[in-house]
Amino acid sequence: MALLDSLLSAFKGGEENRVPLAPGTLQGWMPAFADHGGARLYQYDRAVREGFLSNPIAQRSVRIVAEGVGQAPMSGNDPDLAALIAATSAGQSLIETLAAHVLLHGNGYVQIIKDASGRPIELFALRPDRVKIVAGHDGWPCAYEYSVFGDLITIPVEDDNGWPNIVQIKAMHPLDDHLGASALAAAQQAVAIHNAASEWNRSLLENAARPSGALIYDTGDGAGLTRDQFERLKGELETAFSGSGNAGRPMLLDGGLRWQSMAMSPADMDFATLKSAAAREIALAFGVPPMLLGLPGDNTYANYREANRALWRLTLLPLAEKLLAALLEGLSPWFPGSTLAIDLDRITALSEDRERLWQQVSGAEFLSRAEKRQMLGFPAEENIQ
């Protein structure tokens, strides 16, 4: 229980170790990669702050996928197993939390909390950035190290009975034996562009929502402003005429001063298009149709219903099946012969597909009733007369 209490306290708050943002042309909006000995290392903390906490497209994409997977209806033959998985982890949905971890980090870790007899009583989702895999001499993981505010907890892969203590779910990574690849890492360039475009637009808004013009001093004799005159004029412009609150304010010029407006260049005008393209790339990385995010200019899907069905077929169902399969495999020593899957008949977005399948199977006269039931996911009836 002391271990459980220490892990639960990690979700209740506390000071985080802040990773400073590297300076750039636009402070902070740089890809969350750092050069280390010629290699580019992915900084998870920084990527989450820039990509999830500061970017509305990435955050909404993750929430659509994670909440959709977490609310997907499940079916199985063991109510105890279903109740164990459906229970919350530190007050949050276990499946939703794992889905978000896999999207953001590429890995999800579930600790199996057991009672005195060794039977699972709770599934706890560990923060993946706090988990370190300890590999044995054969290269396979032999333990997991979990750090909680400076305290290091070592959790063996298996208990004394040879049953698992932690279940790891990871996205496929072709260059790493132990860790998965995150969708957020793939979207980092697009996130940096989208954040930079938002910062650019904010700067334009603070400067009367248009590029600044130029004050031209021309007295005809070629004389220029003194340094004191230049600094005074500059200060008056910044105080009285810059910012959204002073937009449209008339300017009184004298002494040979003339205002020359500067139109927005084609490159500046193209910033809006660049931002929309970056937003679509972010949605693509997380597997969310851009239409569901309200992004303009995307006509890939004919309507909202088709886009929602594609979201379920291409993103939500594969991720949900990956999570449930990993949990079922890890818990199989205590629940042998149990099944766990997504109930497709209860998903509204797929109702048309299921109705079409039912019509096709019902019209197949060459199939027996038992075969039709099996094709629809039902057990075959016995002793059919």
Domain range for 124 = 2-191
Q: Is residue 327 part of a domain?
A: no
At 295 the pLDDT is 82
- Exposure string over 311-322, b if 16+ CB within 10 A, otherwise e: bbeebbbebbeb
Each residue's pLDDT tens digit, 315-355? 999 999 999 999 999 999 999 999 999 988 888 888 887 77
pLDDT at position 275? 85
Residues 172-181, mean pLDDT to the nearest whole number: 90
pLDDT at position 336 is 94
In a domain, 236, yes or no: no
154-178 burial: b if 16+ Cβ within 10 Å, else e:
ebebeeeeebbbbbbbbbeeeeeee
Identity (one letter) of the amino acid at 208? A
Residue 294 lies in a domain: no
The three-class DSSP label of residue 173 is: coil
Higher pLDDT: 381 or 343? It is 343
**The pLDDT value given to residue 259:** 62
Asked if the model's pLDDT at residue 128 lies above 90, the reply is yes
**Residue 20 maps to a domain:** yes
Instruction: Give the separation between CA 10 and CA 43, rounded to whole angstroms.
Output: 20
Query: Considering the domain boundaries, does residue 357 fall inside one?
Result: yes
Q: What is the mean pLDDT of residues 165-182?
A: 92
CA distances from 154 to 4, 55, 143, 165 (A): 13, 35, 7, 11
Average the pLDDT over 191-212 and give the result.
73
Quickly state the pLDDT bin for 225 (edges 50, 70, 90): low
CA dihedral 107, 61, 28, 34 (to 10 degrees): 30
Residue labelled with tokens 């149990």: 338
279 pLDDT tier (thresholds 50, 70, 90): very high
- Residue-wise pLDDT for 33-80, tens only, equals 455 455 456 688 989 999 999 999 999 999 999 999 999 999 889 999
Mean pLDDT of 273-284: 89
Q: What are phi and psi of 186, to 5 degrees?
A: -70, -25
Distance, in Å, from the CA atom of 46 to the CA atom of 311, rounded to the nearest integer, reads 28
Residue 213 domain flag: no
Angle between helices 79-86 and 94-104 (to 10 degrees): 60
Crossing angle (nearest 10°) for helices 79-86 and 317-331: 120
Q: Are 13 and 90 in contact (CB under 8 A)?
A: no
How much of the chain exceeds pLDDT 70, in percent?
70
Phi, psi (deg, nearest 5) at residue 78: -130, 105
Look at residues 129, 157, 191 and tell me which one is the last residue of a structural domain.
Answer: 191
* pLDDT higher at 238 or 192: 192
Euclidean distance between CA atoms 90 and 125, whole angstroms: 8
How many folded domains does the chain comprise?
2
Could you say which of 191, 226, 259 is where a domain stops? 191
Lowest mean pLDDT among 56-60, 98-102, 223-227, 358-362: 223-227
Report the pLDDT value the prediction gives residue 350, as an integer from 0 to 100.
83
Last residue of a domain, one of 151, 175, 191: 191
- Residue 233 amino acid letter: L
Nearest Cα to Cα of residue 167 among 242, 84, 71: 84
Q: What is the mean predicted confidence (pLDDT) over 155-183? A: 92
Q: Is 258 part of a structural domain of the chain?
A: no
Mean pLDDT of the chain: 78
Confidence of residue 356 (pLDDT cuts 50, 70, 90): confident
Confidence category of residue 306, pLDDT binned at 50, 70, 90: confident
Task: Say if 364 falls within a structural domain.
Answer: yes
